[in-house]
């Protein structure tokens, strides 16, 4: 056997060397991929294998102080697509578009996008869900979702605000408490290979969302209804630009009601309620349309400032008495004009028939400008400015809503000239917000303590556990308790003897003050444009509520005593009746209203028993219930038990729609009812529910008359009457 030649040996050595070098470099490369780039590549692979679909958390409920649901989340579904799993995007797009009533080309574009998952449509109906699931289309997933719903429509819209399509709070309480209400999103994670087959070691995982916390407001749903009713009536009667009403509990600063008319429906926040306005908006360009939206959402009570006019005189009076600048019997004289200020002539509202000689007390009753110019001079600009700031003007109150304004007051006493001091003394030359004014006047009602207005009392979880509490908070003591009592007595005289007589309520001692001010538009007083207002405290002997009514640009009569005081009087009477505050009639009032009867308590009686009780006492009664049965029970009545009303009055009875036997309930007939009505009925029975569609109820599960346990969910289908 011949030995290998040197040439062969060299070739073998070269091949061996190349092989070793190749193995060496491959080893280095493999190490680099596994060690250096390993985590990055692993992450990329997982991203390719893993498909994650977000599951929205259930947004927390917003309750009124008594547990009424003002904003809820209702069950719905959202359609997602995994483009990589769709083998036939053309056919899939066609079928999905047909079921969901979408543009086929737009669906197709989504199905071919280079992404793991993409949302096709949010909040589909139950029928669409069933139809799409029956098609069993690869790559199309239907995920449980929830939708924000406001069962009372436009009710308290400027307080509640609204959310966007992703359930993020945009305005009102929805915005300011969004981080508590929104909860934490969950995720549905699936691990699949390129063929769409589930990986054996990955599986499918669902990370449950964490529901948001529930917000409990200080708002009282019933008092809010009263306020909205009278605000709407005033808006129509006076043809005003807008009407605002605030009701506050003075000892805590709790806002019991706050309304601004006109309102909007947070379920459709970009559509005006008025059909005529809706048609006008259809023609507007997008930029102008957005401005209209912002104007509609604007909350006058906190977002706008105005000259308070004579309502501000109670603040000036309080400062003057606290500083001993005047006494109740200090004499003044009104000849109709103030002429001794260089370059200015100021006049009283009664310049054509001057008040003449009067005391300070009478000057407040008469709302005399001349008297208060004199009071301002005696007080001095330093003291007046001190109390303006002490009562909270010129700074935000801290109410839990966005966009609050601080109002406009002089930056310092240095800029207050003699004419400025004079006009500020009767509420001109400064600007305040409605929430500032009612908070300041509430300090007069509670012994001189300026409170921070409160709209939210606590946060609770779904088990009812209190997570966070917001206690009433005193900002500062602004006047003494004795001064506060004196001013309260003077304000009572304004109603009983002065310009606020239209707010008089038999049986309740009402303290108040009228205000009328010319509007400032673009920095100048606008001819013929006025704001009429009235601020009130009731009952004056034991304050339970403070009420502010503002009528902006009424047509015709514009004086606060004529357009705002009557509204306040009616609202006070209805609110105090609801709060079961006993009426205390004077001897004169007793003679006038002696033909009265105390309303009996017929709650928890059957309709038959309640009817007999009321008839025997000479009352008539009515009910709007469509399902009156022999065992129908009265769950509420109005007027409330203990109220004094004229004999023969009609008592409204509200009936339970079914009966409860231990934990069982008879399902009521919901057909033809609105969502708000259905929510009221089902809430009253303690049932949970799921809604589909919009409009009026056309179908329900379980059916009417079925006996179910109280933990059974009732599904209700709604349909618009103009749908085919």
Please write the tens of the pLDDT for every residue from 280-289.
Answer: 898 889 899 9
Whether residue 203 is predicted with pLDDT greater than 60 in this model: the reply is no
- In this prediction, residue 207 has a pLDDT band, given cuts at 50, 70 and 90, of low
Residue located via tokens 């008040």: 355
Whether residue 156 is predicted with pLDDT greater than 70 in this model: the reply is yes
Query: Torsion angle of alpha carbons 712, 714, 715, 717, nearest 10°?
Result: 170
Collapsing DSSP to helix, strand or coil, 153 comes out as coil
Helix ranges, 662-706 (H): 675-685
CA-wise closest residue to 397 among 427, 438, 356: 438
CATH number for the domain formed by residue range(s) 303-461+473-581: 3.40.710.10
**Each residue of 561-575: pLDDT tens digit?**
989 999 999 999 999
Where on the phi/psi map is residue 240: left (φ > 0), alpha (ψ -120 to 50), or beta?
beta
- In terms of pLDDT, which residue wins out, 157 or 606? 157
Mean pLDDT of 102-108: 88
pLDDT at 33: 67
Mean pLDDT of 215-229: 95
- In this prediction, residue 61 has a pLDDT band, given cuts at 50, 70 and 90, of very high
pLDDT at 435: 97
Other beta carbons less than 10 A from residue 594's beta carbon = 8
Supply the mean pLDDT for the chain.
85
pLDDT at 475: 96
Other beta carbons less than 10 A from residue 242's beta carbon = 18
- In this prediction, residue 658 has a pLDDT band, given cuts at 50, 70 and 90, of very low
The topology under which CATH files domain 660-719 is Trypsin Inhibitor V; Chain A (3.30.10)
Whether residue 51 is predicted with pLDDT greater than 70 in this model: the reply is no
Which range has the worst mean pLDDT, 135-139, 219-223, 375-379, 586-590? Answer: 586-590
Q: Work out the burial of residue 328: count CB atoms within 10 Å of its CB; fewer than 13 is exposed, 13-18 middle, 19 or more buried.
A: middle
- In this prediction, residue 191 has a pLDDT band, given cuts at 50, 70 and 90, of low
CB 75, CB 144: distance < 8 Å: yes
pLDDT at 661: 43
Whether residue 44 is predicted with pLDDT greater than 60 in this model: the reply is no
- In terms of pLDDT, which residue wins out, 614 or 522? 614
Whether residue 321 is predicted with pLDDT greater than 70 in this model: the reply is yes
pLDDT at 592: 67
Asked if the bond preceding 302 is cis, omega within 30° of 0, the reply is no
Residue located via tokens 């009228």: 514
- In this prediction, residue 43 has a pLDDT band, given cuts at 50, 70 and 90, of low
Whether residue 186 is predicted with pLDDT greater than 80 in this model: the reply is no
Whether residue 620 is predicted with pLDDT greater than 50 in this model: the reply is yes
**Each residue of 446-486: pLDDT tens digit?**
999 999 999 999 999 999 899 999 999 999 999 999 999 99
DSSP structural state of residue 340? E
Asked if the bond preceding 702 is cis, omega within 30° of 0, the reply is yes
CA-wise closest residue to 628 among 665, 594, 571, 668: 668
Query: What contacts 451, CB < 8 A, 6 or more positions away?
Result: 250, 251, 252, 253, 439, 442, 443, 472, 473, 474, 475
Which range has the worst mean pLDDT, 151-155, 304-308, 674-678, 720-724? Answer: 720-724
Compute the residue count for the chain: 724
Q: How far apart are CA 368 and CA 380, in angstroms?
A: 19
Radius of gyration in angstroms for the set of CA atoms belonging to the chain, rounded to a whole number = 35
Mean pLDDT of 694-704: 84
Whether residue 45 is predicted with pLDDT greater than 90 in this model: the reply is no
Whether residue 591 is predicted with pLDDT greater than 60 in this model: the reply is yes
As beta bridge partners, residue 454 has: 254
Ordered by start, the domain boundaries in the chain are: 51-148+180-217, 303-461+473-581, 597-655, 660-719
Whether residue 724 is predicted with pLDDT greater than 50 in this model: the reply is no
Q: How far apart are CA 110 and CA 97, in angstroms?
A: 12
Residues marked as catalytic = 310
Helix ranges, 136-183 (H): 157-160, 172-176, 178-181
Collapsing DSSP to helix, strand or coil, 714 comes out as strand
Whether residue 652 is predicted with pLDDT greater than 90 in this model: the reply is no
Q: Say what percent of the chain tops pLDDT 90.
A: 47
Mean pLDDT of 84-99: 87
Identical topology for domains 51-148+180-217 and 660-719: no
Residue located via tokens 């193995």: 23
The topology under which CATH files domain 51-148+180-217 is Penicillin-binding protein 2a (Domain 2) (3.90.1310)
Strands of 254-261's sheet in order across: 254-261, 242-249, 545-552, 524-538, 511-521
Mean pLDDT of 193-222: 73
Mean pLDDT of 524-546: 93
Q: How far apart are CA 238 and CA 251, in angstroms?
A: 33
Provide the token pair at 616: 């025997």
Q: How far apart are CA 442 and CA 454, in angstroms?
A: 13
Asked if the bond preceding 262 is cis, omega within 30° of 0, the reply is yes
Mean pLDDT of 374-403: 95
Mean pLDDT of 63-87: 87
Which range has the worst mean pLDDT, 143-147, 192-196, 698-702? Answer: 192-196
Q: How far apart are CA 689 and CA 74, in angstroms?
A: 8
- In terms of pLDDT, which residue wins out, 660 or 381? 381
Collapsing DSSP to helix, strand or coil, 350 comes out as coil
Q: How far apart are CA 153 and CA 149, in angstroms?
A: 9
DSSP string covering 205-231, please? EEE--BPPPEEEES--HHHHHHHHHHH
Helix axes 369-379, 381-390, angle to 10 degrees: 100
Whether residue 709 is predicted with pLDDT greater than 80 in this model: the reply is no
From the options 3.40.50.720, 3.40.50.150, 3.40.50.410, 3.30.10.20, give the CATH code of 597-655.
3.30.10.20
Mean pLDDT of 628-634: 68
pLDDT at 199: 52
Kindly report the three-state secondary structure assignment for every residue of 244-268: EEEEEECCCCEEEEEEEECCCCCCC
Mean pLDDT of 145-164: 90
- In this prediction, residue 719 has a pLDDT band, given cuts at 50, 70 and 90, of confident
Whether residue 651 is predicted with pLDDT greater than 60 in this model: the reply is yes
Q: How far apart are CA 211 and CA 59, in angstroms?
A: 6
Whether residue 589 is predicted with pLDDT greater than 80 in this model: the reply is no
């Amino acid at each position: 056997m011949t030995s290998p030649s040197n040439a062969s040996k060299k070739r073998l050595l070269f091949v061996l060397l190349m092989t070793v070098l190749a193995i060496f470099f491959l080893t280095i490369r493999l190490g680099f991929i596994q060690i250096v780039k390993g985590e990055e590549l692993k992450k990329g692979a997982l991203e390719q294998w893993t498909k994650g679909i977000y599951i929205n958390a259930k947004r927390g409920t917003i309750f009124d102080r008594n547990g009424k649901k003002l904003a809820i989340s209702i069950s719905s579904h959202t359609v997602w697509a995994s483009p990589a799993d769709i083998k036939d995007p053309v056919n899939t797009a066609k079928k999905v578009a047909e079921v969901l009533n979408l543009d086929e080309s737009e669906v197709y574009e989504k199905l071919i996008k280079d992404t793991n998952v993409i949302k096709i449509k949010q909040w589909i109906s139950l029928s669409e869900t069933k139809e799409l699931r029956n098609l069993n289309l690869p790559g199309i997933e239907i995920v449980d979702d929830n939708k924000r719903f406001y069962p009372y429509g436009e009710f308290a819209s400027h307080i509640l605000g609204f959310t966007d399509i992703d359930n993020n709070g945009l305005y009102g309480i929805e915005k300011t408490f969004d981080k508590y209400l929104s909860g934490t999103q969950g995720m549905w994670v699936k691990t699949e290979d390129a063929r769409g087959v589930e990986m054996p070691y990955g599986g499918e995982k669902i990370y449950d969302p964490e529901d948001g916390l529930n917000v409990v407001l200080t708002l009282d749903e019933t008092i809010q209804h009263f306020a909205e009713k009278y605000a709407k009536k005033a808006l129509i009667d006076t043809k005003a630009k807008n009407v605002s009403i605030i009701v506050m509990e003075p000892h805590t600063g709790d806002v019991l009601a706050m309304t601004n008319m006109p309102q909007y429906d947070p379920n459709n926040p970009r559509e005006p309620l008025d059909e005529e306005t809706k048609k006008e908006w259809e023609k507007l360009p997008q930029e102008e349309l957005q401005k209209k939206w912002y104007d509609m959402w604007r909350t006058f009570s906190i977002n706008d400032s105005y000259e308070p006019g004579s309502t501000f005189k109670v603040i000036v009076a309080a400062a003057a008495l606290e500083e001993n600048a005047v006494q109740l019997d200090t004499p003044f004289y009104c000849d109709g004009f103030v002429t001794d200020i260089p370059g200015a002539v100021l006049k009283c509202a009664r310049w054509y028939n001057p008040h003449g000689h009067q005391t300070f007390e009478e000057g407040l009753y008469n709302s005399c400008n001349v008297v208060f110019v004199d009071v301002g001079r005696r007080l001095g600009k330093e003291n007046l400015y001190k109390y303006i700031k002490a009562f909270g003007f010129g700074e935000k109150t801290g109410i839990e809503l966005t966009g609050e304004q601080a109002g406009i007051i002089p930056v310092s006493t240095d800029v207050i000239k003699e004419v400025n001091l004079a006009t500020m003394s009767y509420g001109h030359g400064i600007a305040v917000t409605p929430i500032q004014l009612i908070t300041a006047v509430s300090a007069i009602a509670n012994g001189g303590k300026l409170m921070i207005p409160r709209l939210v009392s606590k946060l609770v979880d779904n088990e009812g556990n209190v997570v966070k509490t917001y206690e009433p908070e005193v900002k500062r003591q602004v006047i003494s308790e004795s001064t506060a009592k004196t001013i309260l007595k003077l304000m009572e005289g304004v109603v009983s003897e002065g310009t606020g007589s239209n707010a008089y309520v038999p049986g309740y001692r009402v303290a108040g003050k009228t205000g009328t001010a010319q509007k400032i538009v673009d920095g100048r007083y606008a001819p013929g444009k006025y704001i009429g207002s009235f601020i009130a405290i009731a009952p004056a002997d034991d304050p339970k509520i403070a009420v502010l009514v503002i009528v902006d640009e009424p047509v015709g009569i514009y004086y606060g005593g004529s357009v705002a005081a009557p509204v306040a009087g009616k609202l006070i009477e209805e609110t105090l009746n609801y709060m079961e505050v006993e009426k205390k009639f004077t001897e004169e009032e007793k003679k006038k209203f002696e033909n009265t009867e105390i309303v009996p308590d017929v709650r928890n009686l059957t309709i038959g028993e309640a009817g007999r009780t009321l008839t025997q006492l000479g009352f008539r009664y009515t009910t709007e219930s469509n399902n009156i049965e022999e065992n129908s029970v009265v769950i509420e009545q109005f007027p409330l038990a203990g109220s004094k009303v004229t004999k023969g009055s009609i008592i409204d009875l509200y009936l339970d729609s079914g009966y409860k036997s231990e934990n069982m309930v008879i399902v009521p007939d919901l057909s033809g009812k609105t969502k708000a009505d259905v929510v009221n009925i089902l809430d009253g029975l303690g049932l949970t529910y799921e809604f589909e569609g919009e409009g009026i109820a056309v179908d329900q599960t379980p059916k009417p008359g079925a006996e179910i346990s109280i933990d059974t969910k009732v599904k209700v289908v709604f349909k618009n009457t103009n749908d085919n």
